[in-house]
Copies of this chain bind each other. A is one copy, B any other.
Amino acid sequence: MESQIIVTVDVVLLTLSEGALKTVLLRRDNEPYAGQPALPGGYIHPGEDRDALAAAGRVLRQKTGLVSPYLEQLFTFSGGVRDPRGWSVSVAYYALVHESLLGPGPRHHFELAPVDALPDLPFDHNRIAAQAAQRLRDKSGYSALPCHLLPPAFTLRELQQTYELVLGSSLDKSVFRRRLGELDFLEAVPDAVRQGKHRPAQLYRLKPQARLALFNKTM
């Protein structure tokens, strides 16, 4: 029969924690692989979900309690062998949040694992997570994407450190700030500074519409 295809969404929820890129894993409630840690995922509910993006948002909300961070379609994984229940399609998304959104203290329903050293996950979740990390790293090379790994307001130093962690290389402060100035997707938060042990730093936030500013490409 044509339409006995399993249709799900999976979400790779990424954050920076302890200086590394990590992803949220949940212990599965249901078979298959019940009890094992896996990416948050679930069936699309045709009666409830407007589209797959909405389904991903709902799954994330129901399973982790988080509401609509940055959420973007990653890739669609499919085939006859990736799910023991049968031929399946999973529309995968990736989300970026600041660690503080995950709540303080010990995790309740979920755990964080470094994307570069994940345990063996069910289905093709290792592939999905690896591809999400790759996408984030690629896109961070030419866009403002890493901003979404920070809280709503942040200092330029924090932003630079975020880029450095994601890209895995160090950047020159002066060059970095020149770029930001040219692109004009940040605005200073009026009268807001971060206090530290020394000179306070101006806080910045993303400009309202500029959710994904792009840098210059060549050719």
Contact A80 B50 (CB under 8 A): yes
B-contacting residues, A42-72, CB 8 Å: 43-46, 50-52
SS class, residues of chain A in contact with chain B: loop
Contacts of A161 in B (CB 8 A): none
Which chain B residue has the least Cβ–Cβ distance from A142? B217
Which chain B residue has the least Cβ–Cβ distance from A183? B219
Instruction: Say yes or no for A141: interface residue by CB 8 A criterion.
Output: yes
Interface centre among A3, A4, A73, A140 (most CB of B within 10 A): A3
A168 to B: closest C-beta gap in Å:
13
Contacts of A200 in B (CB 8 A): none
**Which of B3, B75, B76, B217 is close to A217, meaning CB atoms less than 8 Å apart?**
B217
Instruction: Say yes or no for A126: interface residue by CB 8 A criterion.
Output: no
Instruction: Say yes or no for A218: interface residue by CB 8 A criterion.
Output: yes
Contacts of A140 in B (CB 8 A): 219
Contact A46 B218 (CB under 8 A): no
Contacts of A163 in B (CB 8 A): 219
Instruction: Say yes or no for A174: interface residue by CB 8 A criterion.
Output: no
What is the bound-complex CA distance between A103 and B49, given in angstroms? 43
Residue numbers of A with Cβ under 8 A of B are 2-7, 43-46, 50-52, 73, 75-76, 78-80, 86-87, 89, 91, 140-142, 163, 167, 171, 176, 179, 215-219
Q: A51-B78, A142-B218 are in contact. List 15 more A-B contacts (CB 8 A).
A: A2-B46, A3-B3, A3-B43, A46-B86, A50-B79, A50-B80, A51-B79, A52-B78, A52-B89, A89-B89, A142-B219, A176-B219, A179-B218, A179-B219, A215-B219
Report 27 cross-chain contacts, Cβ distance below 8 Å, ordered by A residue: A2-B43, A2-B44, A2-B45, A2-B46, A3-B4, A3-B6, A4-B46, A5-B44, A44-B87, A50-B79, A50-B80, A52-B78, A52-B79, A52-B89, A73-B75, A89-B91, A141-B217, A141-B218, A141-B219, A142-B218, A142-B219, A163-B219, A167-B219, A176-B219, A179-B219, A215-B218, A215-B219
